[in-house]
Amino acid sequence: MADLLNGFVRSDMCGDFTAKDEGRQVTVMGFAAKTRNLGNLIFIDLRDRTGLLQIAFDQSKNAGLFDKAASVKSEYVIAVKGVVQLRTGKNVNASMKTGEVEILASEIKILSQAETPPFFIVDDISTNEALRLKYRYLDLRRPCLQNLIVLRDKITRAARGYLSENGFLDIETPFLGKSTPEGARDYLVPSRIHNGAFYALPQSPQLYKQLLMIAGFDRYYQIARCFRDEDLRANRQPEFTQIDLEMSFVEKDEDVMQVAEGLIKRIFAECKGIEFNEPFRRMTWKEAMERFGSDKPDTRFGMELKDITDLVKDCGFGVFASAAVKGSVRGITVKGGAAFTRKEIDSFADFVKDYGAKGLAYASLKEQAVSSFFKFMSEEEINSIRERMGAEQGDLMLFVADAKNKVVFDSLGALRCHIAKKQNLIPDVYDILWVTDFPLLEYSDEDGRYYAMHHPFTMPNPDDLAYVDLPEKLGEIRALAYDLVINGQEAGGGSIRIHDRDIQKKMFTLLGMSEEVIKERFGFFVDAFNYGAPPHGGLAFGLDRLVMLLGGADNIKDVIAFPKVQNASCLMTGAPDGVDAVQLEELGISVKKDG
């Protein structure tokens, strides 16, 4: 085979050069990011995944080489030999990592020509996302995206190192498994050999990793691919990755949290150079909801929820009084918010309607207060509310009242974050805390039954086990579950698992599963409990979300090499797509056309 590189052997990466390299003979390779022809000098900014490096071609020193360099266009792939020389005076580029030096070229080889790309390969880009995703391989040449993918690699390597040091084994679990529908929809894979039967891609390795504990492996981890057929949003994809771990002979949530906290501290130290010396804060689910209206609270700013239900239960404002009977009335105070216009306040009212609120009551404490409800209240009631809310002249008080606390919490929890972003109140820091003591079950009014808040294998708090036989107390059972929250986003979560077969059977029963359903969906899993199961627990961190948080990205697509779009399709490959009739025939499948 011919030597395609003609003796060129790369000696260095583009982004690694400093002034200390002056005088070195080097060979570099990459993409031509930008070319500038100044008549007797040509400069090419050469790009590889480590950064940019300026290459200089001097016509007076080598006219033939100069003419060859003149033929290089944007995104050509080239190899260059030359000597490192210092840039002086105004030629130093402080905005480039390698801006103190350049390569004075002595040889160049064009390895591959390129057509004019459909958009500029630069970080500051206005090209619409659909076009960039169609040409994702070009989009990925942008340094900002390459840096995120490199960060992703650093995070996984840090995780593997930490978990290996702490006795965890890297064990793979199957992609082709059994469908156990509970929560999001499964992606199904038809079987050719067993026509009419389907595998399901894993939503998580949950059952398998618990079985590995029963099998006696003691400590497991996996960088696990997971699949969920659900509606997408900015931080969700149909296929995603978890740093998944499970450990045996633990019975308290603290046992798992301590190991997981050490993992996150290692990742921040190795990947961001940030040391956390103090233990992460703990906050119960109840406190998080009451103070921040969210089980993933952003505590980097104030604007906390205040409960005024007791103050307004007998007031003359019917909206408040009626909600206080079964639900609650809560509010937030926006410091200096009296400057908001009525139009802006109306936009806040529209915002909370997306979270189930019927409306938004307000009081703008200008020199002469403007309120949607003060006229229904006495001066004493108004003063009590202002005192409870910590509101002063110039502030804005916003309230949601509803018979369902969930509506109140969801609405105000989202609204406080919305306003904080609007007012630039959120500092650029990392705020990390644990949320604990989640409810074991949550009730669905629509279905008229309880669902597991996490999953059916979560251990109830032993102090609340007596409630499992009391229907009126089911909503009060706490779980040995825990979430790690970073800057108002759930970075990971887990629980102590049920290891007692009687408790597991009771849990299935609480979720309305018959013996037949239990056997059909989970028979293999339940049978394993007959042969001894150690106390165990675990946790999974969302790798994609961790990369987002550490890399400062605001969309999960930016941290995945080849992501899907809102309708779960790939604009680059055209997946999903139809298949040949012969393939369908082999699978015993007929396709029903739309309409």
| Average pLDDT value for residue range 339-364 | 96
| Average pLDDT value for residue range 179-186 | 78
Q: Minimal CA–CA distance to 283: which of 310, 257, 244, 307?
A: 257
Q: Which stretch of 37-41, 343-347, 515-519, 530-534 has the lowest confidence by average pLDDT?
A: 515-519
Quote the CA–CA distance of 177 and 180 in Å, as a whole number. Answer: 9
The DSSP secondary structure of 195-229, one letter per residue, reads TT-EEE--S-SHHHHHHHHHTT--EEEEEEEEE-B
Does pTM top 0.95 for this prediction? no
Spell out the residues 6+ positions from residue 224 whose beta carbon is closer than 8 angstroms to its own: 173, 202, 204, 205, 241, 242, 243, 244, 540
The pLDDT of residue 595 is 53
Spell out the residues 6+ positions from residue 107 whose beta carbon is closer than 8 angstroms to its own: 8, 65, 80, 81, 82
Q: Does 44 have pLDDT greater than 90?
A: yes
Half-sphere exposure of 244 (CA within 13 A, CB side): 23
Q: Which stretch of 345-354, 411-420, 441-450, 460-469 has the lowest confidence by average pLDDT?
A: 441-450
Q: Does 234 have pLDDT greater than 70?
A: no
Q: Does 526 have pLDDT greater than 80?
A: yes
The pLDDT of residue 531 is 94
Q: Does 4 have pLDDT greater than 80?
A: no
- Mean pLDDT, all residues of the chain: 94
Q: What percent of the chain has pLDDT over 70?
A: 98
The pLDDT of residue 182 is 61
Q: Does 323 have pLDDT greater than 80?
A: yes
Are 207 and 230 spatial neighbours (Cβ–Cβ below 8 Å)?
Answer: no
Q: Does 183 have pLDDT greater than 70?
A: no
The pLDDT of residue 7 is 81
Q: Which stretch of 140-154, 231-245, 285-299, 407-421 has the lowest confidence by average pLDDT?
A: 231-245
Quote the CA–CA distance of 229 and 188 in Å, as a whole number. Answer: 9
Q: What is residue 59's DSSP assignment?
A: T
Q: How far is CA 566 from CA 110, 226, 261, 557, 574, in A?
A: 39, 18, 33, 10, 14
| Average pLDDT value for residue range 25-31 | 97
Quote the CA–CA distance of 248 and 538 in Å, as a whole number. Answer: 9
| Average pLDDT value for residue range 215-226 | 97
Q: Does 232 have pLDDT greater than 80?
A: no
Q: Does 231 have pLDDT greater than 80?
A: no
pLDDT bracket for residue 86 (50, 70, 90): very high
288-322 pLDDT, tens digit each? 999 999 999 999 999 999 999 999 999 999 999 99
Q: What is residue 194's DSSP assignment?
A: S
The pLDDT of residue 450 is 86
The pLDDT of residue 447 is 80
Angle at which helices 143-165 and 543-551 cross, to 10°: 120
Neighbours of 206 (CB within 10 A): 22
Beta strands in 195-342 (DSSP E): 198-200, 219-227, 239-248, 281-284, 306-307, 328-334
pLDDT bracket for residue 2 (50, 70, 90): very low
471-520 pLDDT, tens digit each? 889 999 999 999 999 999 999 999 999 999 899 988 988 888 888 888 88
The pLDDT of residue 200 is 95
- Beta strand 489-496 pairing with 481-486: antiparallel
Quote the CA–CA distance of 57 and 61 in Å, as a whole number. Answer: 8
Q: Does 6 have pLDDT greater than 80?
A: no
The pLDDT of residue 251 is 83
The pLDDT of residue 253 is 87
Q: How far is CA 144 from CA 50, 100, 126, 549, in A?
A: 11, 22, 14, 14
User: What is the token pair recorded at 83?
Assistant: 């000597």
The pLDDT of residue 128 is 94
Are 438 and 285 spatial neighbours (Cβ–Cβ below 8 Å)?
Answer: yes
Q: Does 224 have pLDDT greater than 90?
A: yes
